[in-house]
């Protein structure tokens, strides 16, 4: 009872204080109010001499992740996680190691040169109900007399060590924007492809690898020539020739993340710009099957009438393009070109942009011109050299008596590397290398027979049409004679 009475007393005094303070602010001269403000600040800092610094996950414009946030998180996970009682565990290094980080609202104390510094994790749900994310931040609290030391030395060290830890524990990520999401979602990227395992001429592979490595080391060069540090690659060729595999090999070679941009899920240029501004440095932005993702070729011609053949022709790869229209994507060619040209992609550091297509001639030349797509790489049918790479990868074979006939057949038959790989893949543990090679020989022979048959049929059709042409000419001549009479 006594306690309740005393709390009631506190409440009344507080209300009176606020009332009097408001009166003073309203009716006193401004100089007096300023002086009072100054004194209240002094009194407050006397009783509460702490400074707070907040490091949010996203920059204030909410577009870009804050590098410092990730570095602080890494530092705290390694140095102070032992002290925290509520933790979050995440697997790194292919699941072989668990990294612990502080759970929300948890606090830990660090010590630096005899000073105690407290870290608190804050998680605040986003104000917008439609938003999928939360606002996360780390708050740092310390005595004001250590202000210079903490801001100049301690924080710098935390960020530096955090970045080292991040580098050590880094899991590469594959980001996607599919499934009607307006933001990126990611999974760990663990594709095993390397340039070594790609079926391609060794010389061309080396040339591409040199180009990529030179790009990675060219920060100063790009700064000197005043160009955004980015490079565009256009990979083209028939389905199953290794375009997607090469992108994975590129990411593995450079140790970059991949952003797989599904253009059909992007509503308009503004959304495209936001998504691209959210991509981080050291990344490869990929737009697969660019010819199907956007009406890039038709955008400028704007709804010209299609020929009846075009209207009826439906290939496998044209389906997504139809979806684009249905899903109402309004990304335009100029929006895409804006992004490639640098204003947006130059936001943060090294970036590679890769487009893939099965039909090079379907693309607008504005998109493929050098400077936008700096390097065009053709991935084509498998030749004998490519086959040898696959035989080594799949069967651990450098030579075999069957190689000779395979070489002969490959000179005559076009076969995609995906089909060669499929035949070389043992279908059971008992299936030996020779059996797999025989499967491939059979597949090649079968393809050859089909080719001969097709050629014969075509020549018959050609002969028939030649005869028909002659007939037509004959008839036409007859008509002329009748008219002349
Ligand atoms: N050049 C290659 N070297 C090694 N493996 C290859 C190569 N090309 C294709 N493959 C094999 O075939 C499969 C399909 O290849 P991939 O998906 O890279 O082809 P793609 O060119 O991207 O086809 P699409 O145009 O249909 O997207 C891969 O998983 C890989 O195993
Ligand atoms: Mg592909």
**239 Cβ closer than 6 Å to some ligand 1 atom:** yes
Pocket flag, ligand 1, residue 108 (CB < 6 Å): no
Residue 418 in contact with ligand 1 by CB distance below 6 A: yes
31 contacts 38 by C-beta, under 8 angstroms: no
423 CB within 6 A, ligand 1 = no
pLDDT tens by residue, 32-89:
888 888 888 788 777 778 899 999 888 766 566 778 888 998 898 888 767 778 877 7
Beta strand pairing call for 50-56 and 134-143: antiparallel
Q: Which residue has a Cα nearest atom 24 of ligand 1?
A: 239
Distance 276 CA to ligand 2 centre (A): 21
The answer to whether 424 touches 394, Cβ cutoff 8 Å, is yes
Closest C-alpha to ligand 1, atom 16 = 242
At the top level of CATH, which class does the domain 174-301+314-378 belong to? alpha beta
* Ligand 2 centroid to residue 75 C-alpha, Å: 38
Overall size of the chain counted in residues:
485
Which mutation among 240, 250, 359 tests ligand 1's pocket best, with the greatest number of atoms within 8 A of CB?
240
Confidence band, pLDDT 50/70/90 cuts, at residue 174: very high
415 lines ligand 1 (CB under 6 A): no
**How far does residue 259's CA lie from ligand 2's centre (Å)?**
14
At residue 248, the pLDDT reads 96
Atom index in ligand 1 nearest the CA of residue 421 equals 11
CA–centroid distance, residue 377 to ligand 2 (Å) = 14
Distance between CA atoms of residues 287 and 379, nearest Å: 16
Provide the greatest CA pair distance for the chain: 132
Least confident of 10-14, 47-51, 214-218, 299-303: 299-303
Q: What is the pLDDT of residues 283-320, one digit of tens each?
A: 999 999 988 877 654 443 443 444 444 433 333 343 33
Q: Please give the Cα distance from 105 to 138 (Å, whole number).
A: 9
- At 24 the pLDDT is 75
Q: What is the pLDDT of residue 483?
A: 32
Sign of CA dihedral 275, 276, 280, 282: positive
Question: Cβ(240) to ligand 1 under 6 A?
Answer: yes
Counting from 1 in the atom list of ligand 1, the atom nearest the Cα of 235 is 21
Ligand 1 atom closest to Cα of 288? 27
Confidence class for position 475, pLDDT limits 50, 70, 90: very low
Is the distance from the beta carbon of residue 329 to the nearest atom of ligand 1 less than 6 Å? Answer: no
Q: Is the pLDDT of residue 360 over 80?
A: yes
Tell me which ligand sits closest to the C-alpha of residue 242.
1
Q: What is the pLDDT of residue 431?
A: 84
Residue bearing the bigger pLDDT, 267 or 418: 418
Distance between CA 25 and CA 31 in Å, rounded?
A: 10
Q: Residue 320 C-alpha to ligand 1 middle, in angstroms?
A: 20
Shortest-distance Cα residue to atom 13 of ligand 1: 418
- Cβ count within 10 A of residue 248: 22
More confident position, 168 or 329: 168
At residue 3, the pLDDT reads: 54
Q: Tell which one of 417, 422, 424, 425 to mutate to probe ligand 1, the residue whose CB is within 8 A of the most ligand atoms.
A: 417
Q: Which ligand is nearest to the CA of 358?
A: 1
- Looking at the chain, the whole-number percentage of residues with pLDDT higher than 70 is 80
Report which bound ligand comes closest to the CA of 317: 1
Q: State if residue 196 touches ligand 1 by the CB under 6 angstroms criterion.
A: no
Decide: 179 and 265 in contact? Cβ < 8 Å: yes
Single pTM value for the model: 0.69
Confirm or reject: Cβ of 242 under 6 Å from ligand 1.
yes
pLDDT of the residue at 127: 54
User: Cα(255) to centroid of ligand 1, in Å?
Assistant: 21
- Is residue 380 within 8 A of residue 238, CB to CB? The reply is yes
Residue nearest atom 6 in ligand 1 by C-alpha distance: 242
* Side-chain-side CA neighbours of residue 202 (13 Å): 4
- State the Cα–Cα distance between residues 35 and 130, nearest whole angstrom: 45
Closest residue by Cα to atom 17, ligand 1, is: 244
In this model, does residue 390 exceed pLDDT 70? Answer: yes
Least confident piece of the model among 91-105, 108-122, 280-294, 344-358? 91-105
Q: Ligand 1, atom 26: nearest CA belongs to which residue?
A: 239
Task: Return the domain boundaries, the chain.
Answer: 34-170, 174-301+314-378, 398-467
Ligand 2 centroid vs 296 CA: distance in angstroms? 19
Average pLDDT, the chain: 80
């Amino acid at each position: 009872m006594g306690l309740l009475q005393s709390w009631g007393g506190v409440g009344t005094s507080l209300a009176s204080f606020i009332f009097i303070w408001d009166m003073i602010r309203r009716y006193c001269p401004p100089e007096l109010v300023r002086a009072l403000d100054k004194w209240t600040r002094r009194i407050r800092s006397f009783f509460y001499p702490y400074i707070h610094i907040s490091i949010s996950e996203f920059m204030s414009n909410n577009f870009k992740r804050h590098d410092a946030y990730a570095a602080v998180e890494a530092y705290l996970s390694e140095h102070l996680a032992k002290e925290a009682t509520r933790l979050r565990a995440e697997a790194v290094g292919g699941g072989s190691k668990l990294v612990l980080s502080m759970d929300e609202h948890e606090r830990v104390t660090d010590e630096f040169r005899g000073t105690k510094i407290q870290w608190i994790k804050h998680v605040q749900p986003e104000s917008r109900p439609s938003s999928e994310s939360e606002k996360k931040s780390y708050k740092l609290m310390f005595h004001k007399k250590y202000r210079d030391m903490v801001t100049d030395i301690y924080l710098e060290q935390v960020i530096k060590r955090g970045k080292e830890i991040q580098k050590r524990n880094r899991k590469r990520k594959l980001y996607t924007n599919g499934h009607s999401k307006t933001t990126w979602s990611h999974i760990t990227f663990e594709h095993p492809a390397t340039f070594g395992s790609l079926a391609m001429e060794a010389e061309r592979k080396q040339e591409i690898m040199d180009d990529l490595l030179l790009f990675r080391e060219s920060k100063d060069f790009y700064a000197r020539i005043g160009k955004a540090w980015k490079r565009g690659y256009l990979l083209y060729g028939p389905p199953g020739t290794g375009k997607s595999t090469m992108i994975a090999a590129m990411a593995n070679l450079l140790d970059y993340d991949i952003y797989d941009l599904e253009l059909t899920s992007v509503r308009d240029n503004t959304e495209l710009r936001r998504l691209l501004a959210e991509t981080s440095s050291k990344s490869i932005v990929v737009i697969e099957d660019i010819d199907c993702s956007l009406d890039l070729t038709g955008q400028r011609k704007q709804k010209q009438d299609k020929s009846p053949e075009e209207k009826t022709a439906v290939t496998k790869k044209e389906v997504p393009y139809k979806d684009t229209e249905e899903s109402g994507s309004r990304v335009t060619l100029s929006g895409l070109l804006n992004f490639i040209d640098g204003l947006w992609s130059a936001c943060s550091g090294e970036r590679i942009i890769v487009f893939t297509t099965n039909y090079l001639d379907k693309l607008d030349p504005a998109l493929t011109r050098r400077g936008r797509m700096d390097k065009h790489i053709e991935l084509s049918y498998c030749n004998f050299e490519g086959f040898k790479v696959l035989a080594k990868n799949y069967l651990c074979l450098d030579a075999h008596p069957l190689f000779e006939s395979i070489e002969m057949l490959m000179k005559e038959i076009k076969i995609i590397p995906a089909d060669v790989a499929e035949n070389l893949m043992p279908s059971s543990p008992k299936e030996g290398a020779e059996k797999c090679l025989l499967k491939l020989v059979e597949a090649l022979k079968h393809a050859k027979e089909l080719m001969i048959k097709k050629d014969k049929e075509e020549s018959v059709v050609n002969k028939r049409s030649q005869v028909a042409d002659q007939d037509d000419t004959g008839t036409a001549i007859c008509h002329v004679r009748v008219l002349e009479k």
